[in-house]
Amino acid sequence: MSTFLRPALSLVLLMTVVTGALYPLAVTGIAQVAFPEQANGSLVHDDKGQVRGSALIAQEFKGEGWFQSRPSAGAFATVASGASNLAPSNPALAERVKTDADALYQASQGPVPLVLLTTSGSGLDPHLSPEAIAYQLPRVAAARQVPQERLQALVNDATLRPLIGPPVVNVLALNQALERLAPITKP
C-alpha cells in the first residue's frame, strides 16, 4: 500500500507547489514586466492622480451633463457581473427597456439606439458605438452649454478603431475629457 501512497502524495504535493505557487508567480512576474498597466487593472487616473475607474469596466454616470454607459444587469458591480438572463419574452425585461427608452428618448433624434437600452454579456462593457454617443451629444451639449461641434471633436478623439470590429468609444475616457473641457459647476 505504501508503495502506491507515497509516490501519489509526493506527486500531489509537487503539482500543488508547481501549479499553485510557482506557475502563478511566474505568470504574474512576466505580466508585471511585459504589460504593467494591464496587469494592474488598466486603471484610469484623474488630473490629481486619483483612480477614477478602469478602462475595462463600465461605470454609471448620472445627470444630463454626462454621457451614459450601457445599462448594467449587476448595477455596475464587478462581483455581480453578468447578463440579466431575462428572456426576450420576459415582461420585466420589456418594462425595463421601455422605462429606459422613455427616459432617454429625444423627439428630434428618433428612436433610442438599442445599445443604450440593452446590457452586454458581462454587464460591464465600457464601450459604446459612436452612434450611441452621437445620440446623447445634444443633451450633454445643452447641459454643459458647450457647442456640439466641440463635443463631437472630443468624441472623434476618443473613438477607438480596433483591427477587428466596429469603432467604439470608451465612456469613462470620454467623460474625463469632457470634465477637463467643461466642468459642471454647482450653483
Residue 10: per-residue pLDDT? 92
Q: Which residue has the higher pLDDT, 71 or 81?
A: 71
pLDDT above 50 (res 187): no
Q: Sheet holding 159-160: strands in order across?
A: 127-128, 168-170, 159-160
pLDDT single digits (tens) 114-148: 778 777 766 677 888 899 899 899 988 888 888 88
pLDDT above 80 (res 54): no
Domain boundaries, the chain: 2-36, 43-181
DSSP 89: T
Instruction: Name the average pLDDT for the chain.
Output: 83
pTM for this model (two decimals): 0.70
Q: Nine-digit cell at 92?
A: 420585466
Which segments within the chain are labelled E, that is strand?
A: 43-45, 51-54, 127-128, 159-160, 168-170
**Mean pLDDT throughout 87-96?**
81
One-letter amino acid at 140 equals V
DSSP percent split of the chain into helix, strand, coil, nearest 5: 50, 10, 40
* pLDDT band at residue 47 using 50, 70 and 90 as cut-offs: confident
